[in-house]
C-alpha cells in the first residue's frame, strides 16, 4: 500500500477532537501498572480494524482509537453542561445507558448540569413544548431495573439549525445521542453544524438498534436480551406446532435490513426448521420453494416451526402477494408486515393442497423491545455509557462509542452512518443457522 493511500485509509478511522486536553481528570486513576489500581487510557492506544489474515500475510495497520478515560480532558467539569437524547424505538438497556451516563458524569467527573431531552430529537424542538428534565443520581436511581426509556423517544428528524440553536440556548458542551441509523445521521449533521458555527460542542453517539445492524461495532446493546425473549416465543411456537396434527408455528422477529435476531434466536432455540432473513433470497413456489419444502416437512415430521425476519417482506414478489394474501390483508397490516402475509400464504397453500393443518402466528416484537436488559446487556450498557462520557469529556466529537473485537473504541460517525451490517450468507454464522434448521436453499435455480 502506498503511503498516501495508507494515510487516507487511516484517516477514515480517525476521530475528530475539539482541541487539546489540558485539564487534569478528576478520576484519580493510576498511570502505573501493577499497583492494583485501574489506569488511564493512553491517547495512542489503538484497536486493529482487521483481525483475520491469511497465513504469512502482513496484518493491516488500520486501527480505531481506543476508548477510555484520559489523564487530561478537554472540558472543565465544574462548568460542563451535558445533554442526552434517546431516539427511535424501544430497545432493552436504554435506561441502563442513561443511568450509567448520569452516574459517571455526576459521581466521577462531578458534572452537575445534565439535561435529559424528552421524546427524541423532538425534545430539541421548542415547538413541542416538552422541556428537558434535570438528571441526577436520584432521578435515575432505579430506572435500570425496567424496560422502556425514562426520557421517551420519537422517530423522525428535526431541523439541524434549530437543534443547534437549542444546544446553544442551553449552553451545552456535550450532547449524547442514543439511537439508530437515523439518529446517528442526525448526530453527524449536528456535529458538522457545530463545527461550521465554530462551537466547541462534543457530539457523541451511542448506537442503538435491537436489529444489531450497525457496522464497525461487534454488537449493539439490547440484542442479547432480544434473543433471550425471542427464544421464548419460538419455544411457544414449537409447542403449538407439536400440539396439533400438521401444526405450523410462525414467529416474526425484528430485522428490517438484517436477520441477526432471527438467525441468533434460531440458533438459541434449536426448534426452528426454516429461518428466513432478508439477506438470503428464498422462493415460495416451485419444487424447492418454501411451500413445497414445508409440505414435505409436515408429511415426514407432522409439524414445523418457521422464523421470519420482518425485512423479508421485500422477498415477496408483488404479484404473488396480491395473489396469495390479497390487497386487503396488505392494506390492513401495512404493506411491509411480512408475518400475516406469510401466514396467510401458507394457510392458503395447505388448504388448496388439502393438508389439514393448523397455522399459528406469533409476533412478539413489542414484548421483545420493551423488556429490561438481561445481565449481559446490563454490563454492556453500563460500559458503553461510561466510555461515551470519557469520550465526551476528552473532547472527541462526531464519533460513536462502539465495541470492536471486544474492545471499546471511538468510531467516526461518518464511517458508520452510510452503511448497514448484514448477515453474510457465505459465513460460518449462516452455516450454523442452516445446520441448526436443516433447511435447504429454498430456491429453484441451481447454485451458481
Q: Which is nearer to its own copies, 100 or 417 (CB)?
A: 100
Look up cell 406469533; give the residue: 362
Q: What nine digits make up the cell of 307?
A: 422464523
CB of 364 to its own copies, least distance (A): 7
Element (H, E) at 280: none
Q: How far is the CB of 196 from its own copies (least distance, A)?
A: 29
User: CA–CA separation, 232 vs 433, rounded Å?
Assistant: 18
For 297-332, letters b (16+ CB in 10 Å) and e give bbeeeebbbbbbbbbbbebbeeeebeebbeeebbee
What is the nearest approach in angstroms of its own copies to the Cβ of residue 391?
A: 13
Is-catalytic flag, 136? no
- Cα–Cα distance list, 120 to 132, 150, 154, 269, 412 (Å): 11, 11, 5, 34, 22
Output 199 or 322, the one with its CB closest to its own copies: 322
Nearest to its own copies of 162, 431 (CB atom): 431
Give the shortest CB-416-to-its own copies separation in angstroms: 18
Rank residues 191 and 439 by Cβ distance to its own copies and give the closer one. Answer: 439
Give the whole-angstrom CA distance, residue 24 versus residue 89. 38
Phi, psi at 403, each rounded to 5°: -125, 130
377: cell is: 446487556
Residue nearer to its own copies on the CB measure, 19 or 56: 56
170 DSSP 8-state letter: T
Buried residues in 221-238 as b, exposed as e (16+ CB within 10 A): bbbbbbbbbbbbbbbbbb
Pick 46 or 112: Cβ nearer its own copies: 46
Tell me the closest approach of the beta carbon of residue 188 to its own copies, in angstroms: 24
Q: How far is the CB of 197 from its own copies (least distance, A)?
A: 29
Q: Identify the CA nearest to 180 among candidates 160, 157, 148.
A: 157
What are the Cα distances from residue 81, in Å, to 84, 94, 168, 248?
Answer: 10, 21, 11, 55
Beta carbon nearer to its own copies, 16 or 333: 333
Cβ neighbours, 10 Å, residue 272: 28
What is the spatial distance between Cα 390 and Cα 273, in angstroms, rounded to a whole number?
45
207, 380 Cβ separation under 8 angstroms: no
The nearer residue to its own copies, 38 or 418, going by C-beta atoms, is 38
CB of 192 to its own copies, least distance (A): 26
- Sole residue written with cell 442503538: 208
What is the distance between the alpha carbons of residues 112 and 338, in angstroms, rounded to a whole number? 47
**Which of the 8 DSSP states describes residue 212?**
-
Active-site pick, 113, 173, 181, 211: 211
Q: Is 296 helix (H, G, I), strand (E, B) or coil?
A: helix
Instruction: State the nearest-atom distance from the C-beta of 259 to its own copies, in Å.
Output: 12
- Report the distance separating Cα 203 and Cα 175, nearest Å: 5
- 84, with CB counted inside 10 A (0-12, 13-18, 19+), is buried
Catalytically active residues, by annotation: 211
Amino acid at each position: 500500500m502506498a503511503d498516501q493511500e495508507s494515510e487516507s485509509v487511516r484517516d477514515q478511522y480517525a476521530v475528530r477532537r475539539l482541541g487539546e486536553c489540558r485539564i487534569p481528570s478528576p478520576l484519580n486513576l493510576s498511570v502505573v501498572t501493577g499497583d492494583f489500581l485501574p489506569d488511564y487510557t493512553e491517547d495512542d492506544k489503538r484497536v486493529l480494524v482487521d483481525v483475520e489474515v491469511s497465513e504469512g500475510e502482513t496484518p493491516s495497520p488500520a486501527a480505531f482509537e481506543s476508548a477510555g478515560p484520559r489523564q487530561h480532558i478537554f472540558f472543565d467539569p465544574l462548568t460542563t453542561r451535558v445533554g442526552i437524547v434517546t431516539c427511535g424505538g424501544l430497545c432493552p438497556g436504554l435506561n441502563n445507558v442513561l443511568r450509567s451516563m448520569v452516574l459517571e458524569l455526576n459521581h466521577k467527573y462531578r458534572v452537575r448540569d445534565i439535561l435529559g431531552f424528552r421524546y427524541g430529537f423532538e425534545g430539541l424542538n421548542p415547538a413541542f413544548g416538552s422541556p428537558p428534565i434535570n438528571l441526577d443520581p436520584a432521578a435515575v436511581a432505579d430506572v435500570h431495573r425496567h424496560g422502556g426509556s425514562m426520557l421517551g423517544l420519537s422517530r423522525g428528524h428535526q431541523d439541524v439549525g434549530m437543534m443547534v440553536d437549542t444546544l446553544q440556548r442551553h449552553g451545552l458542551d456535550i450532547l449524547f445521542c442514543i439511537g439508530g441509523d437515523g439518529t446517528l445521521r442526525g448526530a453527524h449533521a449536528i456535529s458538522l453544524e457545530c463545527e461550521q458555527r465554530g462551537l466547541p460542542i462534543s457530539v457523541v453517539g451511542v448506537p442503538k438498534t435491537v436489529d444489531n445492524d450497525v457496522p464497525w461495532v461487534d454488537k449493539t446493546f439490547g440484542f442479547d436480551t432480544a434473543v433471550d425473549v425471542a427464544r421464548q416465543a419460538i419455544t411457544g411456537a414449537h409447542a403449538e406446532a407439536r400440539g396439533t396434527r400438521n401444526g405450523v408455528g410462525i414467529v416474526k422477529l425484528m430485522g428490517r435490513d438484517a436477520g441477526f435476531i432471527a438467525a441468533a434466536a434460531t440458533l438459541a432455540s434449536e426448534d426452528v426448521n426454516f429461518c428466513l432473513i432478508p439477506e438470503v433470497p428464498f422462493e415460495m413456489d416451485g419444487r424447492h420453494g418454501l411451500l413445497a419444502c414445508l409440505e414435505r416437512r409436515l408429511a415426514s415430521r407432522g409439524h414445523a416451526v418457521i422464523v421470519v425476519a420482518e425485512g423479508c417482506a421485500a422477498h415477496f414478489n408483488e404479484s404473488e402477494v396480491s395473489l396469495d394474501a390479497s390487497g386487503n390483508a396488505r392494506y390492513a397490516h401495512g404493506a411491509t408486515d411480512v408475518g400475516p402475509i406469510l401466514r396467510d400464504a401458507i394457510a392458503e397453500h395447505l388448504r388448496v393442497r388439502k393438508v389439514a393443518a393448523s397455522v399459528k402466528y406469533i409476533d412478539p416484537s413489542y414484548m421483545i423491545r420493551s423488556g429490561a436488559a438481561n445481565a449481559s446487556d446490563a454490563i454492556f450498557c453500563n460500559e458503553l455509557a461510561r466510555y461515551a462520557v470519557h469520550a465526551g469529556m476528552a473532547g472527541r466529537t462526531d464519533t460513536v462509542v462502539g465495541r470492536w473485537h471486544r474492545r471499546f473504541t471511538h468510531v467516526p460517525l461518518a464511517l458508520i452512518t452510510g452503511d448497514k451490517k448484514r448477515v453474510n450468507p457465505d459465513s460460518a454464522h449462516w452455516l450454523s443457522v442452516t445446520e441448526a434448521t436443516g433447511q435447504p436453499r429454498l430456491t429453484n435455480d441451481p447454485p451458481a
